[in-house]
Amino acid sequence: MTPQPFDVYPDNFSKEVIDILLEKIDNPILGYKLASETEIVQELGTKHMQMGFPIVYTSADSIIQIAACEDVIPVTELYKMCETGW
């Protein structure tokens, strides 16, 4: 357990969070908003396939999620993004 609860994102990510993520993963991203996995993939899946940028979203909790097609961004690269993101 941690002494303080993790930040939650009930409306959307703050600009500060997005700026930190962009700087650390050194890659443009799509999304960065509140959505379910189904909604965000339906909305941005085609754009992701065309542009090759990962989709970043939250489900209003403390988790920043990164979605991508493994044919576009290999799993090893996704792991690196997750490891270096924070």
pLDDT tens track of the chain, all 86 residues? Answer: 667 766 666 667 778 888 888 888 888 999 988 888 899 999 999 999 999 999 999 876 667 889 999 999 999 999 988 887 55
pLDDT score for 6 = 67
d(Cα 77, Cα 85) in Å, to the nearest integer? 12
Q: Where are the alpha helices (DSSP H) in the chain?
A: 15-25, 37-51, 75-85
Note the pLDDT of residue 1. Answer: 61
Q: Two tokens at 8? A: 């939650």
The alpha carbon dihedral of 32, 22, 53, 81 has a sign of negative
Distance CA 67, CA 55 (A): 5
- Looking at residue 8, what is its pLDDT? 63
Query: Residue 2 has what pLDDT?
Result: 67
**Tell me, what's the pLDDT at 45?**
97
In the prediction, which pLDDT does 11 show? 67
Residues 6+ apart with CB under 8 A from 84: 24, 25
Q: Which domains does the chain have, with CATH numbers?
A: 15-85 (3.30.70.1250)
Pairing of strands 30-34, 55-58: parallel
For residue 49, what are the contacts with CB-CB under 8 A and spacing of at least 6? 69, 72
